[in-house]
Homo-oligomer: A and B are copies of this chain.
């Protein structure tokens, strides 16, 4: 089963990034599957939610909240803008372009929410209260300042 043991070590088992990525792939697929009837991905759903809920001042602020690179966010917004779910204002000149949820975007969010809820409850059930609590607590500890230190 295992070869080259002299050189290759226990990375698979210990690497936090590996575990995280493997889990993320399953989780995102699970939510994406559930949301498919709405045409949204879980990333898009979360993004719309944050924009609608916090009405952020700038793109960068949203990016910070999501631990997402600003340029990635800029690109993630494109399909949402194209679909008419968000609107990027140009009020204050070119700088500080606000992002706003449109009426259509809010409607889409409401439409998607039950699908999200189903997926969420399935995940919560699959994990069980203990694991869910542990996961939440541990992930909360994964912050920029803890890693930078």
Contacts and interface: CB of A to CB of B under 8 A. Distances in A.
A118 B53 CA distance: 39
A8 B109 contact: yes
A113 interface: yes
A15 B9 CA distance: 34
Given A30-B147, A106-B7, A14 B120 contact: yes
Contact of A52 (B4, B50, B110, B124): B4
A43 B21 contact: yes
Task: Determine how many copies of this chain the complex contains.
Answer: 2
Kindly name the residue among A14, A20, A137 whose own CB sees the greatest number of chain B CB atoms within 10 A: A20
A39 interface: no
Interface of A: 1-4, 7-9, 11-12, 14-28, 30-31, 42-43, 45-46, 49-50, 52-55, 66-69, 106, 109-110, 113, 116, 119-120, 122-124, 126-128, 131-132, 134-144, 146-147, 149
